[in-house]
């Protein structure tokens, strides 16, 4: 594979002129790295979407945006898809057991791992780092990282307000404004409100809004130029999500029978203080202190039906109330030319610390019997990290980075089970980069990522039941690590009309964490736990290309090819899944699009996103079907006004975003089926915007 890809890389590079200047290179700056660098000069597989890219697909939420990234997938199981997989690695749900996501999420540098991104309205940009990024992000980046940057303050006034209406009684009102308060102080404010009835019809309750969307997001930034070499920043976020949750149907379609529809609510607030000081002679000093508090209420009708549907019926309801409070602190020194080691080595050294307090209260009704489970987890992280960048020659450079992290867990639950864990983990990255010319980069790297283990609270809570006695052996699960070998090429044509990025990778997973289930023939009664498979293999290719054919037509394409394999793994039910594809890891996914400017006022944007079939779980063999989504947007712009007519999923395809395999319908004697939650059907909308 590496030989074939090397030949491909050289063929691509041969199309790029050796006489291009730096001005010809596509100028997208990566915000999430240690240093802000041009995307084409970052050694690693990083993809970036700007506000214009998101508008092309009429994206309103992270779910819509993720479809444009190669080798990226997501799982729902809630009102939104907040569980992300990169290169086939990532979680798909969170119930009782506290998970540490394999794919982290940062919003303006604040850790939102496990909470998702509520709105992508008016971003600065959205970045996806593919592959282990332990040196930069630590335990939250075993598979990669999603980094979202909201609008930064500007000292020149600017703003935009947008209003959208769409089918399913949907509406969105959003806007941002940025301006200077004084010569030293500027702000930006972004507000977004989305509402929709959702795409489910509950025929039992005769309602079409049991899976509704009602989300408000506010993001505020202040930038203060305190002195010539000192900048201070303040970031504040507010999220109020009052969504319904009624997504799974006994009839395996978009029609439900639930008599007690669930909810997916989230209220969070976050605050960050930033400091950047350039007054030191050898290095710039950067620091961020952030705080986040989030309360969530997630629940659903377990039986997906109503009392009286059948003599063999059951009536259960499940609800999870979570509270999360976290503090993070990140100190970093970034070298200046005067502080280079040996005259040719840039360096970064940092200290990171975090505290996270998580509480859970699970309230479950089984017929008329009430059950309660409660737990608390206190996690403390402390890590040291560093990276050096050494120029070996004018064209060849070596990057070496590493991170060592200690975490301590203290777990306590309602059964007075008190467990502690104290482990030290490490990650690293070595990259050799060859700048063939100003617009062409070759790189090869090896990186190691990790994520923490944890406690199986549900297993512990049910182990005393003789029907679930085997769970006594599932009290905890081990940390997971991955080693990634990657080779890539990035290049642009002499006139900047063509930009291409290609990467190939091979990943070795050790003690990979998988979700297991036990159902000892007790009908609807089952238990979940996190287990460790022996190993896993993930390898493939991903690419992005932009081509400006002429002044009127621009083409975009991204594609990913992925092979993933479970190591030796036999489920507790005896199902041997050794060697099978991993869950939520489609072998092929792609996104192609075009911008066509008919006149100065009228333009058309169109795109197609597709992916092959994939397994829903590492515990059964149920699969999602392949999918192709067609999106079209027609824009008309006059001075400050823009009017857009758009269609998402124009062919009205049913696309599965979460799936289970078991029996839940008393009408067919609880015969097992594949039950799926579907993404949105055809959406038709109109958006009016005014820029000022």
Residue 516's DSSP bridge partners are 529
Give residue 13's pLDDT band: very low, low, confident or very high (50, 70, 90). Answer: low
Asked if pLDDT for residue 498 goes beyond 90, the answer is yes
pLDDT value of position 15:
47
Give residue 21's pLDDT band: very low, low, confident or very high (50, 70, 90). Answer: very low
Rg (CA), the chain: 25
pLDDT value of position 467:
73
Mean pLDDT for 547-570 is 93
- Of the listed ranges 170-184, 452-466, 488-502, the one predicted with least confidence: 452-466
User: In which domain, by residue range, is 335 found?
Assistant: 2-691
Closest to 447 measured CA to CA, from 28, 2, 37, 44: 44
CB atoms within 10 A of CB 46: 26
pLDDT value of position 16:
52
What confidence tens digit (pLDDT) does each residue in 632-657 have?
A: 999 999 999 999 999 999 999 999 99
The overall average pLDDT reported for the chain is 91
């990234």: which residue's tokens? 69
Asked if pLDDT for residue 23 goes beyond 50, the answer is no
| CA atoms of 132 and 140, how far apart (whole Å) | 9
Q: Which residue would you say has higher pLDDT here, 506 or 95?
A: 506
Backbone angles phi, psi at 24, to 5 degrees: -80, -20
Q: What single-letter DSSP state applies at residue 313?
A: -
Asked if pLDDT for residue 458 goes beyond 80, the answer is no
Backbone angles phi, psi at 139, to 5 degrees: -65, -15
Give residue 79's pLDDT band: very low, low, confident or very high (50, 70, 90). Answer: very high
What confidence tens digit (pLDDT) does each residue in 270-279 have?
A: 999 999 999 9
Give residue 328's pLDDT band: very low, low, confident or very high (50, 70, 90). Answer: very high
What is the C-alpha end-to-end distance of the chain, expressed in Å? 51
| CA atoms of 365 and 370, how far apart (whole Å) | 5
Cβ burial 384-422 (10 Å sphere, 16+ → b, else e): ebbbbbbbeeeeebebbbbbbbebebebbbeeeeebebe
Give residue 523's pLDDT band: very low, low, confident or very high (50, 70, 90). Answer: low
Please report, for residues 313, 427, 428, the alpha-carbon distance to residue 133 in angstroms, rounded to integers and kept in the order given. Answer: 48, 8, 8
Asked if pLDDT for residue 573 goes beyond 60, the answer is yes
Mean pLDDT for 173-178 is 98
Helix then strand then coil, in percent of the chain rounded to 5, is 10, 60, 35
Helix H or strand E segment including 412: strand 396-413
- Of the listed ranges 11-25, 106-120, 669-683, the one predicted with least confidence: 11-25
What confidence tens digit (pLDDT) does each residue in 375-407 have?
A: 999 999 999 999 999 999 999 999 999 999 999
pLDDT value of position 17:
46
Task: Transcribe 114-179 into DSSP letters.
Answer: TT--S--SSEEEEEEEES--HHHHGGGGSSEEEEEEEPPP-SS-EEEEEEEEETTTEEEEEEEEEE
Mean pLDDT for 226-238 is 97
Which CATH number fits the domain that encloses residue 218? 2.40.170.20
């999602």: which residue's tokens? 624
Hey, is 302 helix, strand or coil?
Answer: coil
Which pair of structure tokens corresponds to residue 145?
């990282």
Hey, is 52 helix, strand or coil?
Answer: helix
Mean pLDDT for 324-351 is 92
Q: Which residues contact 27 (CB under 8 A, 6 or more apart)?
A: 38
Give residue 18's pLDDT band: very low, low, confident or very high (50, 70, 90). Answer: very low
| CA atoms of 108 and 152, how far apart (whole Å) | 10
pLDDT value of position 333:
97
| CA atoms of 374 and 585, how far apart (whole Å) | 33
- Rounded percentage of the chain residues whose pLDDT exceeds 90: 74
User: How many domains are there within the chain?
Assistant: 1
């Amino acid at each position: 594979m590496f030989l074939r890809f090397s030949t491909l890389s050289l063929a691509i590079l041969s199309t790029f002129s050796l006489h291009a200047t730096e001005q010809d290179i596509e100028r997208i700056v990566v915000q999430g790295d240690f240093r802000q660098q041009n995307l084409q000069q970052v050694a690693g597989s990083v993809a970036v979407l700007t506000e214009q890219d998101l508008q092309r697909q009429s994206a309103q939420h992270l779910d819509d945006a993720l479809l444009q990234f190669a080798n990226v997938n997501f799982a729902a199981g809630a009102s939104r898809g907040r569980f992300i997989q990169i290169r086939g690695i990532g979680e798909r749900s969170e119930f009782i057991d506290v998970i540490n996501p394999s794919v982290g999420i940062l919003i303006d540098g604040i850790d939102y791992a496990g909470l998702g991104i509520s709105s992508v309205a008016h971003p600065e940009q959205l970045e996806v780092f593919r592959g282990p990024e332990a040196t930069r992000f630590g335990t939250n980046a075993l598979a990669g990282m999603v980094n979202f940057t909201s609008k930064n303050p500007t000292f020149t006034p600017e703003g935009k307000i947008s209003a959208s209406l769409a089918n399913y009684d949907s509406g969105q009102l959003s806007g941002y404004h940025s301006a200077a308060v004084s010569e030293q102080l500027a702000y930006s404010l972004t507000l977004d409100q989305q509402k929709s009835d959702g795409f489910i019809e509950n025929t039992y309750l005769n309602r079409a809004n049991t899976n509704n969307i009602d989300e408000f997001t506010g993001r505020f930034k202040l930038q203060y130029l305190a002195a010539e070499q000192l900048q201070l920043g303040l970031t504040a976020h507010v999220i109020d999500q009052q969504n319904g949750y009624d997504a799974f149907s006994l009839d395996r379609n978009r029609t439900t029978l639930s008599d007690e529809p669930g909810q997916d609510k989230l209220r969070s607030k976050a605050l960050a203080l930033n400091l950047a000081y350039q007054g030191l002679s050898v290095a710039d000093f950067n620091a961020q202190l952030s705080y986040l508090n989030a309360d969530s209420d997630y629940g659903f009708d377990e039986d997906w039906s109503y009392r009286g549907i059948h003599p063999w019926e059951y009536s259960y309801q499940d609800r999870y109330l979570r509270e999360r409070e976290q503090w993070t602190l990140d100190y970093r020194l970034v070298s200046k030319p005067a502080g280079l080691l040996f005259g040719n080595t840039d360096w970064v050294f940092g200290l990171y610390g975090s505290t996270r307090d998580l509480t859970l209260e699970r309230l479950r009704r089984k017929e008329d019997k009430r059950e309660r489970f409660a737990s608390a987890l206190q996690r403390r992280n402390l890590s040291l990290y560093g990276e050096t960048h050494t120029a070996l020659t004018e064209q060849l450079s070596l990057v070496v980075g590493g991170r060592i992290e200690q975490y301590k867990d203290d777990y306590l639950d309602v059964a007075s089970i008190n467990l502690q864990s104290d482990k030290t983990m490490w990650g690293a990255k070595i990259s050799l980069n060859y700048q063939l010319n100003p617009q062409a980069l070759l790189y090869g790297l090896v990186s190691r990522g990790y994520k923490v283990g944890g406690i199986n609270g549900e297993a512990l809570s049910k182990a005393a039941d003789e029907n679930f006695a085997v769970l006594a052996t599932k009290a905890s699960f081990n940390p997971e690590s991955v080693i990634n070998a990657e080779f890539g090429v990035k290049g642009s044509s002499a006139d900047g009309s063509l930009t291409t990025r290609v990467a190939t990778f091979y990943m070795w997973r050790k003690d990979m964490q998988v979700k297991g289930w036990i159902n000892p023939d007790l009908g609807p009664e089952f238990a979940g736990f996190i287990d460790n498979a022996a190993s896993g293999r993930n390898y493939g290719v991903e690419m992005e290309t932009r081509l400006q054919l002429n002044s009127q037509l621009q083409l975009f394409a991204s594609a990913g090819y992925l092979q993933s394999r479970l190591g030796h793994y036999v489920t507790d039910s005896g199902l041997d899944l050794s060697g099978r594809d991993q869950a939520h890891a489609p072998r092929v996914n792609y996104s192609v699009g075009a911008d066509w400017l008919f006149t100065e006022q009228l333009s058309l944007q169109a795109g197609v996103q597709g992916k092959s079939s994939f397994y829903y779980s590492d515990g059964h063999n149920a699969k999602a079907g392949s999918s192709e989504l067609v999106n079209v947007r027609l824009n008309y712009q006059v001075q400050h006004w823009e009017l857009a007519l758009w269609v998402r999923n124009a062919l009205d395809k049913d696309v599965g975003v979460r799936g289970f395999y078991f029996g839940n319908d008393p009408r067919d004697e609880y015969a097992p089926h594949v039950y799926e939650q579907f993404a949105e059907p055809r959406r038709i909308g109109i958006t009016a915007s005014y820029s000022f």
